[in-house]
Structure formats: structure tokens, C-alpha cells
Structure 1
């Protein structure tokens, strides 16, 4: 089921998820039970080495998917406080991939989320772990 973000229809230009940003990824999210996923296929505009998607772009995909999961769970924006990436395989330009995010939502404090970038066969290409702070709450690290 497609996930509708709270700012859908508002004139925003998020590089990761806005369909209005001509240079962005225009990621669309889907609920998978308690998880959130985004399928993507990236072209040469997002390349590092020839034929390889830039690792920073993969970090962006993971952050967008995890962060939007937190937003949809809590109903309020949450800001990334830290993120760690682990690159396991090569994500190729023109390949079909999917990012799946899972979150824990404690009643207070930072929210932790994890994500995996999977190839079309389900093999893990990258993993991410991040913490998020509800917007407007003090940093409790």
C-alpha cells in the first residue's frame, strides 16, 4: 500500500522524495506491515565510479526511507542526529533495488531505525542504522 506523507501536495522540493524537484530522486514509499520501503532505479546522474551508484546517494535513500517511516509512525517530523552506513555489495547504475526500513519508537528520547538496500533477488547491498530526534524536542544524547 502506498504511503502518503503529511506534506503530499504541499510545494516542497525535498531531494529525496518530492516529485517537484527535477534533480531529485522522487522516491515513493510503500507500507510493508510495520516497515516502509522505496523501490528505485538510478541512472548515470547518480554515479561515482563508472556504472556504480555513489554511496552518498545510497545513504540518502536509506535516510529518506528511515526518516519517513519515523514521520509516518509518529505523525511529526523527526531530524536525523546520526547515521552509519555499511556497504556490502555494488549497487549498479540501471539496476533495480529496494530500500526497506524498520524503526523502534520509544516513548521519549531518540528513535532508532535500520534499513537495508536489497537487489532484485533480495541480496543485501547496504545497511544503515540511524537515530532521529522528534522536531522541537531537546537532544537527549
Structure 2
């Protein structure tokens, strides 16, 4: 399935094109962003960090074959994510009740320090596989 998603879509010329992988029930991706995604000088814009966390969490279910929509997203910014810094993003399932999937996400630096975390709730619309 091909998408124009800003975060993970390979066909979006303005997107981040993160290569999100699913392994053992969680998602992960490695990335580094340039000045095009800067907020304050030298720092990745907080909205970009939120979008990455949202995608990491949603893709836990999407990569298993489900269409889902964000209904709630909470982000905590613990440390600045710097331009051109190698970062690692993760998404972990928490629980599913009825059609609501809850997940936890985090972004870490190369030393394993957590830079940002997210909690997300997603409405599972349907399976596509």
C-alpha cells in the first residue's frame, strides 16, 4: 500500500520519508533532520517531533494491517532534538479496548537519552489486509 504521508510516505517530495519498521510488536526508525525542519536555531520544530511520535505509535497497528485515526496525542519534550543529530524513534502498544488503541512513543539520542515521549489514542476503523 502506498501513501503520501508526511512522516513515512516515500512518495511525498516534502516529507520526512522515515523508514518505520515493525519488529516484535513495536516500531522503530532512525533519522536525522536538516535545517528545513528547524524551529528555534539548531533545534527541530516541536510540531515535527509530535508528528514523528504520532506516526511511530499509529504504525504499530497500521503495519499490522489496520487503518486508524488519531483521537488524542500528548507529547512531553524533555530535551531539545537538534538539527543533524542522529535520533531513534520508537512506538509501543499499551492496550486496545473496543476500537481504541493506546500506545507509547519515545525519541532517544545515540546515547539512549530520552528526548521526547508521547501517549496516543487511536480509533481503529478497519483492517485493510
Tell me the TM-score normalized by structure 2. 0.91
Runs of 5+ consecutive residues of structure 1 not aligned to the other structure:
1-6, 137-141
Q: 1:56 matched to which residue of 2?
A: 47
The total of aligned residue pairs comes to 126
Distance 2:62 2:13 in 1: 24
Q: 1:139 matched to which residue of 2?
A: none
Distance 2:97 2:48 in 1: 31
Give the SS at the match of 1:135. strand
Distance 1:31 1:80 in 2: 19
**Whose radius of gyration is greater, 1 or 2?**
1
Tell me the TM-score normalized by structure 1. 0.84
As a proportion of its length, which structure holds more strand? 2
The structural deviation recorded for 1:54 is 0.3
Runs of 4+ in structure 1 deviating by more than 3 angstroms, as ranges, are none
Instruction: List aligned pairs for 1:21-40, cutoff 5 A.
Output: 21-40=12-31
Pairwise CA RMSD of aligned residues? 1.3
